[in-house]
Amino acid sequence: MLEQVSTRGVLRGPVDWVFPAWIAYVEYATQRIAETFQLTEEERRQLFDFRDAMKQLLLEAWRQAKEKLASIYKAVVNNTYRIENNKLYIPDGVGMYVREGFAPHVPIYGISAETYFPDVLKLPRERLEPLQLGWRASDEGNNDGRPFMRTTQPWQVFAWTAARYGALYIRVDSVNLTREGASMEVVIKAKSWKQRWSKAEAMDLVASHLRRGEWMPLLTMWLGDGKAERSEVLSGEYKLVVAAKEPWRLGSSIGTRKALVATGKEAFERLRESAGAYGELLDLLRAHKWIEIKLATDDGFRAAYKLKARKRGNRRA
DNA sequence: GCGACATACGAGGTATGAAT
DNA sequence: ATTCATACCTCGTATGTCGC
């Protein structure tokens, strides 16, 4: 489970593995957060409430996913399904979305929870806002004037939520069926915050921070939409590339949907330095993109990683 | 009517590994 | 080293609905 988080970010596998793996990750991450950050009793209680709410949600979603997959299987075997408008209908309704050329996904209904995530980072507003800004410029959306996030990567749940702490509304949205197994999509809305920036404003602000030598917004922007190109970093090619609808706002465009924001090992070093306490969180979360930043900037870490990769290769061979 | 939860649904460029 | 094929899943917005 941790290996997938630290190499790809996404958890994928058999349904009976993915959901327990998410639960195990939630337990692992909350435990490590409780050990790493100074929390009051109240904050610890909130953190463990969050853990329990997530576990409950995942258990329910697991049950529904299994039931739905079984009904879909049955409908196909008994020939009681039909496909219309990119949807596969089974006798109870929509079984899954089956748009041509895309991974099918099974919608999950009615699995949501309200919970609360404590302020574990305890950053002053002027250090927290740059983190929020970068998320907004990348993965974070706007829903009824509130920030929200949708992801299949468990580390992003914690990395984003730590920056948008407080009251949360969490929902399991769907299960994607990929060739490497199922993955699960979760949606989180931050009810304690107002969405203050449009996507374009946030991107412009990230760019202007960067021109002033402030790298923190770019860190979270890259964690969101940055291109993780581990093999290039490992072979000594250092490029900070971010996916964006309007890449010109950020610097030189590569094609229509990507911006080359910076190059060179120093750029990765600036990113790493900018993280501060947030880096401790990313460390314990084993976030794959953060690991890439460390691979780019820490020779010892990279050597150890390559050694381990070689050992793994030998074992497989 | 409105605010907040909930669901519907459409949309393509990119990662990745194989082939050359 | 470069091209090529194919699987990948993320993102955004619209609309419904329910309680007040």
A245 CA, B12 C1': Å apart: 12
A59 CA, B19 C1': Å apart: 44
Whether the CB of A255 is less than 7 Å away from nucleic strand B comes out as yes
Q: How high is the pLDDT of residue A309?
A: 63
Range of the domain at A263: 199-297
Whether residue A115 lies inside any domain: the answer is yes
| Domain count along chain A | 2
Residue A88 has pLDDT above 60, yes or no: yes
Other C-beta atoms lying within 10 Å of the C-beta of residue A293: 25
Whether residue A312 lies inside any domain: the answer is no
Whether residue A181 lies inside any domain: the answer is yes
Residue A272 has pLDDT above 50, yes or no: yes
Mean pLDDT check: name the lowest of A53-62, A81-90, A230-239: A230-239
Q: How high is the pLDDT of residue A314?
A: 44
Phi-psi category of A86—alpha, beta or left, where left has phi over 0 and alpha has psi -120 to 50? Answer: left
Whether residue A215 lies inside any domain: the answer is yes
Whether residue A124 lies inside any domain: the answer is yes
Q: What percent of chain A has pLDDT over 70?
A: 79
Residue A35 has pLDDT above 60, yes or no: yes
Same domain, A28 and A159: yes
Per-residue confidence band for A156, with pLDDT thresholds at 50, 70 and 90 = confident
Where b means 16+ CB within 10 Å and e means fewer, A185-213 reads bbbbbbbebebebebeebbbbbbebbeee
Mean pLDDT check: name the lowest of A13-22, A109-118, A173-182, A201-210: A173-182
Residues 250-309 of A with CB under 7 A from strand C: none
Amino acid making up residue A314: N
Same domain, A138 and A80: yes
Same domain, A159 and A113: yes
Same domain, A12 and A63: yes
Same domain, A79 and A184: yes
Whether the CB of A224 is less than 7 Å away from nucleic strand C comes out as yes
Q: How high is the pLDDT of residue A281?
A: 92
Same domain, A254 and A225: yes
pLDDT, tens digit (0-9, with 9 covering 90-100), for A239-256: 666 666 666 666 666 555
Whether residue A303 lies inside any domain: the answer is no
Whether residue A48 lies inside any domain: the answer is yes
